[in-house]
Structure 1
Amino acid sequence: MRRRDFLAATVKLSTAVVASIFPGIRDSYAVSTPRNRSFRPIILLRSGLDTPVMAALTRTLADIGARRQTELKVAPVTTFDPAALQHELRQWQGTRLVGVMDAATQLLLEETLRDLGGTILCTGIHRGDPTLMGPSRHHFSSAPAAAGIGNAMAAVLSASSHDYCITETATGISQRSASGFSSISPKQNWAEAVGTVLAMAATDTWCPGMAIRGMASGSLAGKLFFNSLVADI
C-alpha cells in the first residue's frame, strides 16, 4: 500500500488532530518594513475552514503588492482524489500555494506536492477560542526559507489584549530576530493574525530568524482549530 493510500485510509477514520500545549513567556517584537521582492504568482487554497482567515490574508497580500492569480478549492478528505489534484496542480508550476485546511487534508496535499517535486515552506497548527477574541496557540514548522514566521505571528498578536502561545521549529536556523510587516492593523483577532502571517509567508516579507516564545494561554474549551500550509510547486 502506498503511503498516501495508507494516509487516506487512516484519516477517514479520524480527521482530528490534538495540538500540543506549548508553554512559554511573553516577549516583545519589533516590526520591520518588508523587503522588495519579485513575488511568485499565488494560489489561494480554499477548504471551507478559511472564512475568518481569508479576508486578512487577501487584504495583506494587496497591501504588500503581491498579485493573486487564482483560487483553488481543496476537496474534503472523504472525497480527496490525488490524481485529480496532481492534474490540477501541474497547471500551476512556478506558483506558491497558501491556505488553511484540516490536518488530514494537509497530509494528503503534502504527499501530492512532493510527488510533483514541490517544496513545503512552512506548516502551522492553530487553535483558539471559537469566538476569535480569546486566547490562542500556534506551532509552526518551517524550512530555512520561511524561518521567522512564528516571530511574525508574535508581532501581530502582541498588539492584541488576548493571551497567546507561539512556537516554531525551523530547520537549519537557530537565530531569533525581529519580524513583522509595517502596515499590520492593531488588535487583530487570532484568526486574522493567521491570515496576515500566511500572506507574509507567501511573499517572504519578514526578517530571517526563529521565534519560540509567547505566553501560555488559559483553557481553550470548545476550541476552533485548523492547519495552515505554504508551499512552492
Structure 2
Amino acid sequence: MQLRSGVGSKAAVLVALAALITACGSGADGAGTEKPPTAADTGAGTAASGKPAAGTTDFATVFNTEQRIQSALPDPSQMAEWTPKTGRADIEEQPKSPVECGPDAHWDCTAIADGSAKFEAFGETVIFGIKAYADQKAAHDACGKEAAWSAKYTKANVSPVAGVTSHAYYRNAGSLDGLDLIMCTGTVIAEIRLEGPGSDLNPATAHRMAEGTFVPRIQTAAAAS
C-alpha cells in the first residue's frame, strides 16, 4: 500500500488545521455550541452549478484530493474549547478494486483516501476520521462490511444521526477504552472516536459532535467546487 501524505510534521499539522479556518470556513461556534442547521443547510438536491447542495447527505462527490479530505474534517475554529493535536490526509496512489480485495477483505480495503483530525481537552480525546471511496456503491458495500465486522462489540446507545446511516459501539484499542460512532453518507464512511482517561465516553457527546459539526462539514465539502 502506497500513501501520499498531505501533512508531514506535528508543526505542519497544526498549521494545516488552523489554515482550514480560512480556507473552508466554520459551520459551528465550537464544540458543544454548534448552531443548528438552517432549512437551506439541510435541504437535499443539486445546486445550479451541478454540485450537490450543501446539506445533501446522499452525494456522489468523490473525496480524492487532500484538500477535499482536509475540508471535510473539523478545524480548530469549530473545536474552540479543544486543543488540536494531529491531522492528516492520505491519498492511495494505487487503490485496490473490489476484485483485488475479494469478499473477505477488511471493510476499508477499497478506500481511495482517508484522513483524521485529533483534538484533546481535560484528558478526553476526540478523533474525527474519514474513509473515502470511488463511488456510492463502493461506500455502501464497505458500510455493510463495517457493520458486520463491528457487530462483535458492545453496542453504544448513540441516537441516530439525522440524514446518515449510523451505529456506535464500545471498543478497546491500544489499551484505551473508546466509543466509536460510525456514519455512512454519500461516498464516505466517517467516524468519531472518544477516548482518554478524562472521557466518560458519553454517547450524547458523540452525537452532538456528529450532527453539529462533522456531518455538516462533510456535506459542505461535498458541495464545494
Q: TM-score, normalised by structure 1?
A: 0.26
Q: Which has the higher contact order (CA 8 A, sep 6+)?
A: 1
If each structure's strand is expressed as a fraction of its own residues, which one has the higher value? 2
Q: TM-score, normalised by structure 2?
A: 0.27
